[in-house]
Structure formats: C-alpha cells, structure tokens
C-alpha cells in the first residue's frame, strides 16, 4: 500500500510538471495572429517587408533545385521550419510560409493569448538576425541601420 501511495504521488508530480511544461511551450502561430492587437506593425510588415513574400522568392526557383537544396531554402525563407510548431508545407501550414513576425520575435502562441511583453522576444540584437543574414549571404550586414528595415 505504501509503495502504491509513493507511486501515485510520483505520478501526480510528473503529470503536474508535464502539464505546466506543455502549457508554457511557445509555438509558432503566424503573423496574422498578431494583426488584431498590432495592426500598424502588421500593415507595415505586409506592405513593405520583403519577408512577407519570401516564400514566393523560393517558389519561383523550386524547379531548378533538388529536394535537399529546396529544404535548405525553407530554413530562412519560412517561419520556424524544422522547429516545434513551425512551417511544414504550404498546404499544412499556410500562415507560416513566409518569414513573419516570429522569425525575429520568436514563437508567439503564449504572448498572443496573454498580451504580456515577457512572453515575446524584444530587445533584439544582431544575433536575432545572423542565423539568416549570415556572412555568406550578405557582404556587409550593417546591423544598426538595418535593424528596422525588413521589420515594420
């Protein structure tokens, strides 16, 4: 009986920890989920940022690429490809096909529910960009003037 109680207790704790971890996991939701509360940023992003059409840039070249080459493009030209809750395919995850808000601000599910600034990445630095804007790709990526370019 005692052993059963210990077992049950351990299970309870495990379930609680697992539940909290699941509830707090930030996953990608796509830029549209930001529109209601940040209509200005959203409108600017869609209108002026090339990221908002980054899927088109690779789609037009797809026929000239091998599958492996194409998959590499997805890492930078979509939102969250290869990461939990990120882009899978145009039909399965249409809202994540372009590089959206979350490539810079991180997965937005928690913040889009809470509106709490602590649930989203801000105070961005050059590291937020260099995964995609790396030296191979860009001759001179001058962070300061470019910080707001390409955003909103």
* Beta-carbon-side half-sphere exposure of residue 141 (alpha carbons within 13 Å): 19
Among 9, 91, 99, 140, the residue binding ligand HEC under the rule CB under 6 A is: 99
Total length of the chain: 152
Among 26, 93, 108, 110, the residue binding ligand HEC under the rule CB under 6 A is: 108
Q: Is 131 in the site for ligand HEC (CB under 6 A)?
A: yes
| Count of residues that interact with ligand HEC, criterion CB under 6 A | 54
Among 69, 83, 90, 94, the residue binding ligand HEC under the rule CB under 6 A is: 69
In the complex, the smallest distance separating the C-beta of residue 7 from ligand HEC, rounded to whole angstroms, is 41
Q: Is 105 in the site for ligand HEC (CB under 6 A)?
A: yes
Tokens of 49: 């940022």
Round to whole Å and give the CA distance between 34 and 112: 7
Round to whole Å and give the CA distance between 9 and 129: 45
Let me know the angle formed at the C-alpha of 85 by 83 and 86, rounded to the nearest 5 degrees.
Answer: 55
Closest CA to 108 of 76, 134, 100: 100
Residues that bind ligand HEC (CB under 6 A): 29, 31, 33-34, 36-38, 41-42, 45, 49-51, 54, 57-58, 61, 65, 69, 72-73, 75-77, 99-105, 108, 111-112, 115, 117, 120, 122-124, 128-129, 131-134, 137-138, 146-147, 149-152
């Amino acid at each position: 009986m005692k052993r059963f109680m210990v077992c049950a207790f351990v299970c309870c704790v495990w379930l609680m920890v697992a539940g909290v971890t699941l509830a707090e996991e930030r996953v990608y939701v796509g830029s549209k989920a930001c529109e209601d509360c940040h209509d200005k940023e959203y409108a600017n992003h869609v209108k002026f940022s090339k990221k908002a059409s980054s899927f088109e840039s690779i789609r037009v070249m797809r026929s000239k690429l091998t599958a492996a080459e194409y998959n590499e493009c997805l890492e930078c030209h979509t939102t969250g490809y290869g990461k939990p809750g990120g882009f899978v395919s145009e039909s399965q995850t249409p809202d994540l096909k372009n590089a959206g808000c979350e490539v810079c601000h991180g997965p937005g599910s928690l913040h889009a529910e809470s509106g709490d600034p602590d649930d989203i990445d801000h105070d961005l630095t050059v590291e937020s960009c260099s995964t995609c804007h790396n030296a191979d790709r860009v001759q001179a990526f001058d962070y300061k003037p470019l910080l707001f370019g390409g955003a909103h």
